[in-house]
Amino acid sequence: MEQTAHDRGEGYIYVTICEEGKVQIKDADTYTPAASLFQMNNFKMEDCIKLVEQPIYDSIPCMSPHVVKIQDVLKVVLSQRNLFRSAWSSAERLEDKTVVITGANTGIGKETAIDLAKRGAKIIMACRDMERGEAAKKEVIESSGSENVLCMKLDLADSKSIREFAEAINKDEPKLNILVNNAGVMVCPYGKTADGFEMQIGVNHFGHFLLTHLLIDLIKRSAPARIITVSSMAHSWSSINLEDINSEKSYDKNRAYSQSKLANVLFTRSLAKRLEGTGVTTYSLHPGVVQTDLWRHLNAPQRAIMKMVSPFTKNSSQGAQTSIYCAVEPSLDKESGGYYSDCAPANCSAAGKDDVVAQKLWDMSCQMLSLTWE
């Protein structure tokens, strides 16, 4: 007897309610648990979700799944999350402060630039595409009312560009109070940087590692100062493959992205230890599920899910809030090396607290970038 599409599970995204009451959305391509994408992983919902089938997209069925109407799940989670979350706001001023923001021509980077410019800081927008960067600079000036905004060329996929940018900053700027390592690439097809690194680990980790190293002396002289690195909750989906950091043996774009975001968390943790007593503090963060240009590389099932949940995601201004919080919140003066989400301290994964792997990653990064950083 011929199976129907329903029998085969086609046309459905499956959402499994695990024994512990956690929700997992199964990605059709990789079976990667995507619960944390929607911040559901710690939410109990046994008694409040009606189990129904919701046709979404061709998908491979999980084994013996309970199928949940995803919109209902999201509405419940969102309402519960917002019920107990207090809004963060700050009137903190940044006159006489200099800020560098990578990837500031779009998304949360641009919104971070606008906010910090409103607070009186000098903003240096570090952008790969200068045409888009100059257009964004005009937006930042118009939105903030501040003319103290520069746009400079920085391609984090090219160490030559990184060194040229850092050389110019060190030459022209007497201080650097806040460095926001914001730029990134997400789940892109396999590619290599100008230096031969896999693109995601190359841009998201190695590029910012080198940039921070080249600017660290200026940052130290500017203390108190802060270094903020935008990571993601995706850091908890993978581990660091020290044997194949560049994914040359095999490449999974989701796993490579998660690895690069975990590297951000470990880098922040290691950097904090090396900067103890200098007046420079470090922070990594999850901005939230934000509608940005980074979504352009998602596959069809992922795009289908994100389109469906887009009403529940953050816009760029909302997504920038935790970056801004880490940049200006006075109560963080004595904290360093931590991970933040929704403008508050958050728990990173166990892998994000592994100091042994963090040290190995640090040593490997120095070796691959041909630099010494004790």
d(CA 110, CA 104): 4
Return the CA Rg of the chain: 21
Residue 257 annotated in active site: yes
d(CA 320, CA 342): 10
Q: Which residues contact 10 (CB under 8 A, 6 or more apart)?
A: 58, 59
- 201 within 8 A of 263, measured Cβ to Cβ: yes
d(CA 198, CA 266): 18
Question: Distance from CA of residue 159 to its chain's centroid?
Answer: 21
Burial class (CB in 10 A: 0-12, 13-18, 19+), 87: exposed
Say which of 14, 257, 283, 325 is annotated catalytic.
257
Counts of helices then strands in the chain (DSSP H, E): 12, 10
In b/e form, how buried is each residue of 58-73, taking b as 16+ CB within 10 angstroms?
bbebbeebebbbbebb
Q: Which residues does the annotation mark as catalytic?
A: 257
